[in-house]
Amino acid sequence: MDEEPQEIATQWQIRTLAHAYQKREPTRYVVEGYLSEGSLNILYGPPAAMKSMLLADLCACVVAGSDWLPGTSGNGRGIKTNQAPVFWVDMDNGTRRTDERIDAVSRAHKLPEDAPFNYVSMPMPPLNVADLDMMIYLKGVIRELGAKLTIIDNLGLITGEIEENSAAMAMVMGYLRQIAEGTGTAMVVIHHQRKGGANGGRAGDA
């Protein structure tokens, strides 16, 4: 039997102008001017462009609450970060390489052993963003860790059988955005350009 419209409406969180007119807090940033809390972001580039290493260094800076990339801002300092726990999901490099990379950046920033730099490498079952139950689990982990910066490496390995240029990818990105907004984390998904011809081997690379 079809549900009555009133019953359907109670399942959705219907908002009104009363919500729209409420005073909102200013946007809070994890990385000032770049990554705001509750946002979904993609870092895209060719292989061997140091994307993962760059973000690992960013994670260490956020955990420490120190400026990122010193000397790159207009005031001669780095990019301001706001101290917070981070969470890294590695589906690409493997446990040994991920251990070594996080070890290197954390020691360079003199982080203590109990600093909230949390990560998982090649988890089983693997992360599949097309699986709603897995997305609910990921959301719970991020909340439990209190992570305000979450890195996922990489997009091509978490989409299951979904083609990157298919309409189903919109659903995948929608799941990730809901998690980011629901947990308040700044989520960064690494996306690698494929090796190949002039356009990188796929239409999307153009």
Q: What is the DSSP string of 150-191?
A: EEEE-GGGSSTT--TTSTHHHHHHHHHHHHHHHHT-EEEEEE
Note down pLDDT in tens along the chain; length 206 residues.
455 655 665 678 888 999 999 999 999 999 999 999 999 999 998 888 889 999 999 999 999 999 999 877 666 789 999 999 999 999 999 999 999 999 999 999 999 999 999 999 999 999 988 888 999 999 999 999 999 999 999 888 888 777 766 777 788 888 999 999 999 999 999 987 765 544 445 555 55
pLDDT, residue 197, reads: 46
Pair of tokens at residue 116: 């909230």
Pair of tokens at residue 59: 């994670």
Question: What is the CA 152 to chain-centroid distance, rounded?
Answer: 5
Distance CA 92, CA 157 (A): 7
| Phi, psi for 138 (deg, rounded to 5) | -60, -40
According to DSSP, the residues that pair with 89 across neighbouring strands are 120, 152
Amino acid at 175: Y
- The pTM of this model reads 0.84
Indicate if the alpha-carbon torsion angle 86, 192, 132, 9 is positive or negative: positive
